[in-house]
Amino acid sequence: MNLSIETPALLFSATSLILLAYTNRFLTIAQIVRSLKKNYDQDQNKSILVEIKNLNQRITLIRYMQLFGVLCLFLSVFAMFLLFLNYETAGIYIFGISLLSLLISLGISFWEISISVNALRIHLKDLVEDEKN
């Protein structure tokens, strides 16, 4: 199998956009947590604690998403460097590990999104029940 130096470079734009999306998710959730913490300090409502716990889990997942995304980018650059030095076999394996890192990052992203969707469904369930009554 031959791998040209341009192939790992193809991941740059995709990985950069994914990392930007992850960072935006993180910043949005951090802002929501700060707001909920402020509300909790005023109201001492237990449901707010449940929401904060859910968001904390999502923040942890986003941290791992970012970790594997950055690892993907790092390994892609390293694979390009190895290919540049004519270490084709090593470059191919490192690029394969880079792709695996990207898959892990995307899998964790899917997990984080499903947690988010479930939390939204709980909120919507309350609205639907209120509407029926």
Mind listing the pLDDT tens digit for each residue in 45-89?
777 788 888 899 999 999 999 999 999 999 999 999 999 999 999
Of 3-7, 34-38, 73-77, the range with the highest mean pLDDT is: 73-77
* DSSP-assigned letters across all residues of the chain: ----THHHHHHHHHHHHHHHHHHHHHHHHHHHHHHHHHHHHHH--HHHHHHHHHHHHHHHHHHHHHHHHHHHHHHHHHHHHHHHTT-HHHHHHHHHHHHHHHHHHHHHHHHHHHHHHHHHHHHHHHHHHHHH-
pLDDT at 11: 82
**pLDDT confidence bin for 38, thresholds 50/70/90:** confident
Residue 52: the pLDDT is 85
